[in-house]
Amino acid sequence: MVDVDKAVIARLKTHGDKYEILVDCDSALLFRQGKTADVSDVLASEKIFSDAKRGIVASQHRMSEIFGTEDHEEIAKIILKKGEIQVTAEHKGKEQDEKRRQIMAYIHRNGVDPKTHIPHPPQRLELAFEEAKIHIEEHKDAMEQIPDILKKLQVILPLKFERKQLSVIIPSQYAGKGYGAVKGYGHIMKEEWLNDGSWKGTVEIPAGMQTEMFEKLNSMTHGAVQIETLKIEKV
């Protein structure tokens, strides 16, 4: 059972009535997302309130009429799935940090310096975010915010999105592991096995991933991999 002192209110308004339960914020949101099934891990109290702050318990008879059950856990599940959950400042902060990480990872993966065609270091992106005073919006999905953020960043940082088509040849003794690595970085457009057992493929990847992929394959094959840029396309 959750600590009552740290609980927030989940509330459902229905049929002219209000029903409230005390819950752990993070666990309640995970329950709503289907990431946890045990409602007892969410609740700070088994009671269903009409006014949790004043400690007024909801009418059992009325709940039975509205929800079709007297089981408080079943009613709590309905409130969690259909109602409003108070979000703590701490949780909002975590969500914003996670969105910021997602956005920066996406830009680093897909964006490059137009002059060098390689990604900016993460530290440079961090600095550009600070200089551009990038604000992560609470109620918008991370990916939805990228176009506006890019406009602000490009005032400070030369940046464009590209995809590259690469020719990759992996010697036969490393082909199995190497193929798995290549597949993890992008889309294999075509492939063939050469007469000497080497694997050859044409791979499309986000431009920002080329250096990372090359370093991994180079290490895996002890420098025997061959990578050639065939085409660069703007995204």
Q: Which domains does the chain have, with CATH numbers?
A: 4-85 (3.30.1250.10), 89-158 (1.10.10.900), 162-234 (3.30.70.240)
The mean pLDDT value of the chain amounts to 92
**Token pair 């290490």: residue:** 219
What is the three-state SS of the chain?
Answer: CCCHHHCEEEEEEECCEEEEEEECHHHHHHHHCCCCCCHHHCECCCCCEEECCCCEECCHHHHHHHHCCCCHHHHHHHHHHHCEECCCHHHHHHHHHHHHHHHHHHHHHHEECCCCCCCCCHHHHHHHHHHCCCCCCCCCCHHHHHHHHHHHHHHHCCCEEEEEEEEEEECHHHHHHHHHHHHHHCEEEEEEECCCCCEEEEEEEEHHHHHHHHHHHHHHCCCCCEEEEEEEEEC
Full-model pTM = 0.66
pLDDT digits (tens, 9 = 90+) for 147-188: 999 999 999 999 989 899 999 999 999 999 999 999 999 999
Q: Which of 133, 139, 135, 225 is nearest to 177 (CA)?
A: 225
- Answer yes or no: is pLDDT of 66 > 80: yes
Residue 117: the pLDDT is: 82
pLDDT digits (tens, 9 = 90+) for 178-220: 999 999 999 999 999 999 999 999 999 998 888 889 999 999 9
